[in-house]
């Protein structure tokens, strides 16, 4: 993981705000900057604020260590980002001005949310048509819900950028969501008071689908996995899940002996990306229905004794790329970045793959009584959570915005990561590395014949 700073080069005023929940997309190849970054600001009171900026990543070391388009970190970069460098806003972040979305049906223990209108915790991603979209919350139909809007409506420079493609002159992709549009669940009685963390599947045909639930709803009802086709203006079909599909998340703890790894609740975390299961450098590689999937981050959330977050375990889920989007596999183990920490284990357990740290810990245990971290590395964060996922900037070849949502195994993915609800960072990894070591989902149950 690496750091993010919203302080641009030659800032006009000091920056004292705290930024968190970074959601990131890469910009087109003809852009002067690499990424678009939307972050939430820590505020006093119930209201929320979010800002947007274009950003770049600098590198440390030799030019051989650089990714395409990156520049070496300056002394000022390293002062703000730390010795590993990271992502920095190219200009001062601007406030995202979105009309407030109401929370109209908050009852019982959710009544206080009526006084906290949206928008909340936005997520940004590319559609399959090349639209830069933003999803955010509150609801007219429930207490929490999800709205969609095209970012070009809110951030005009993005409209100018997408209309200036040197290889495909146009006004940019048509807007499916030019104004705030609430997404719905059909039928209405299927809705819950709290609807959040939905993700979308964008097919190459231009059609889109909303994936609502992985397995079980937040209130542990028997609603099960649900997804629906988007018809337009936020309206959808009824649930299209294969009724014979068996749950991929059922009984995962059956063979688990470590109590710290048992339990928890599953939540969708990021948008999905379309992935072709061969390498971009393989000239024989052609996208087909058989070798194309969707994948996304899902969290397994563990609370502490106060029911506050103890840790969010990051797993990658893979679906078929064609309806009914069969769940194909899930990470066998939680995925941590190389320098990431997670509470629930001791510090020496967290860093057990660091040879130097293990040697320090072993020496401390032999020489004296001590408590964790036993002279070794400590936690730098108690919990992290993944907010967004996008293909990284600088892929080879001419890439139009309609290609931003699809990639290959050797393409890099950039993850936006929140830290302790008060900070932010990002990580990059090859897509193929993220979807290796999967546990296969059980698939469809065989229909049994009923005897008369």
Q: How far apart are CA 125 and CA 401, in angstroms?
A: 11
| pLDDT score recorded for residue 261 | 66
314 vs 437: CA distance, rounded Å = 14
Q: Please give, one letter per residue, the 3-state secondary structure of 355-416.
A: HHHHHHHHHHHHHCCCCCCCCCCCCCCCCEEEEEEEECCCCCCCCCHHHCCEEECCCEEEEE
pLDDT at residue 238, rounded to an integer: 94
pLDDT of residue 314: 95
| Nearby residues of 2 by Cβ (< 8 Å), 6 or more positions away | 57, 81, 82, 84, 85, 86, 87, 425, 426, 427
Which residues in the chain show pLDDT less than 70? Answer: 44-47, 117-118, 216-223, 251, 253-261, 446-452
pLDDT attached to residue 329? 96
What is residue 113's predicted lDDT score, i.e. its pLDDT? 77
pLDDT confidence of residue 374: 82
Locate 32 and state its tokens: 């002067």
Taking the C-alpha atoms of residue 52 and residue 89, their distance in angstroms, rounded to an integer, is 9
Phi, psi of 387 (to 5 degrees): -100, -35
Q: Which two tokens stand for residue 331?
A: 């990470």
Find residue 211's DSSP bridge partners: 199, 227
Give the integer Cα–Cα distance in Å for 220 and 192: 11
In this prediction the pTM is 0.91
pLDDT given for residue 89 in this prediction: 98
d(CA 295, CA 272) in angstroms, rounded, equals 5
For every residue of 136-187, DSSP letters joined together read: EE--SSSSB-EEEEEHHHH-HHHHHHHTT-SSS-SS-SPPS-SS-EE---SS
């Amino acid at each position: 993981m690496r750091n993010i700073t919203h302080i641009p080069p030659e800032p006009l005023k000091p920056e004292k705000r705290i930024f968190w929940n970074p959601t990131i997309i890469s910009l087109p190849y003809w852009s002067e900057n690499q990424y678009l970054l939307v972050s939430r600001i820590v505020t006093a009171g119930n209201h929320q604020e979010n800002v947007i900026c274009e950003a770049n990543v600098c590198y440390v070391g030799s030019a051989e260590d650089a990714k395409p388009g990156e520049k070496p970190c300056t002394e000022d970069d390293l002062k703000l980002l730390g010795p590993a460098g990271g992502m920095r806003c190219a200009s001062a972040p601007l406030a995202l001005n979105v009309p407030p979305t109401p929370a109209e049906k908050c009852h019982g223990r959710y009544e206080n949310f009526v006084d906290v209108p949206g928008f909340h915790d936005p997520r940004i991603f590319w559609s399959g048509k090349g639209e830069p979209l933003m999803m955010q919350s509150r609801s007219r139909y429930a207490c929490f819900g999800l709205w969609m809007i095209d970012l070009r409506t809110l951030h005009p420079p993005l409209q100018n950028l997408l209309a200036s493609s040197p290889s495909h002159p146009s006004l940019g992709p048509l807007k499916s969501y030019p104004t705030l549009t609430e997404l719905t669940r059909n039928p209405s009685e299927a809705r819950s008071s709290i609807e959040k963390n939905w993700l979308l599947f964008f097919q190459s045909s231009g059609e889109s689908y909303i994936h609502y639930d992985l397995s079980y709803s937040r209130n542990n009802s028997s609603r099960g996995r649900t997804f629906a086709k988007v018809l337009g203006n936020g309206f959808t079909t009824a649930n299209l899940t294969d009724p014979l599909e068996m749950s991929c998340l059922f009984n995962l703890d059956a063979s688990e002996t470590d109590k710290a790894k048992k339990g928890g609740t599953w939540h969708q975390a990021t948008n999905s990306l379309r992935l072709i299961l061969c390498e971009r450098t393989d000239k024989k590689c052609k996208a087909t229905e058989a070798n194309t999937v969707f994948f996304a981050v899902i969290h397994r959330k563990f609370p502490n004794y106060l029911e506050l977050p103890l840790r969010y375990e990051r797993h990658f889920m893979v679906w078929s790329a064609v309806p009914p989007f069969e769940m194909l596999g899930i990470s066998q183990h939680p995925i941590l970045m190389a320098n990431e920490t997670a509470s629930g284990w001791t510090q020496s357990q967290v860093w057990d793959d660091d040879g130097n740290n293990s040697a320090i810990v072993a020496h401390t245990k032999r020489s004296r009584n001590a408590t964790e971290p036993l002279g070794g590395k400590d936690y730098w964060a108690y919990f992290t959570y993944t907010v967004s996922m996008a293909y990284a900037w600088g892929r080879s070849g001419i890439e139009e915005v309609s290609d931003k949502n699809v990639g290959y195994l050797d393409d890099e993915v950039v993850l936006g990561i929140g830290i302790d609800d008060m900070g932010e960072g990002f990580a990059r990894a090859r897509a193929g590395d993220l979807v290796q070591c999967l546990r296969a989902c059980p698939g469809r149950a065989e229909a049994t014949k009923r005897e008369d």
